[in-house]
Amino acid sequence: MISTETKIRRIRDKLSRIGIGEKKLDDAAILASYSINQFGNLCPVPRIL
């Protein structure tokens, strides 16, 4: 299990690599929208309606 700070840093890094600037979002919003799967890939968090 990776720490929250490490997860946020990895998500921001992956988003910047693909050209999505998420600098305006705070850490909670990023964790609510994106995640890192077990293979280290960026994936969206499923939304429950």
What are 1-47's pLDDT values in tens digits?
A: 678 899 999 999 999 998 887 778 899 999 999 999 889 899 998 87
pLDDT at 41: 92
Report the pLDDT value the prediction gives residue 23, as an integer from 0 to 100.
Answer: 74
- The answer to whether 46 and 37 have CB atoms below 8 angstroms apart is no
The Cα 28–Cα 30 span in angstroms is: 5
Calpha distance 37→30 (Å, rounded)? 15
Contact status, residue 11 vs residue 36, Cβ threshold 8 Å: yes
- Cβ neighbours of residue 42 closer than 8 Å, sequence gap 6 or more: 11, 14, 15, 18, 34, 35, 36
Residue 49 clears pLDDT 80, i.e. is over it: no
Q: What is the pLDDT of residue 1?
A: 67
Q: Confidence band (pLDDT; 50, 70, 90) for 48?
A: confident
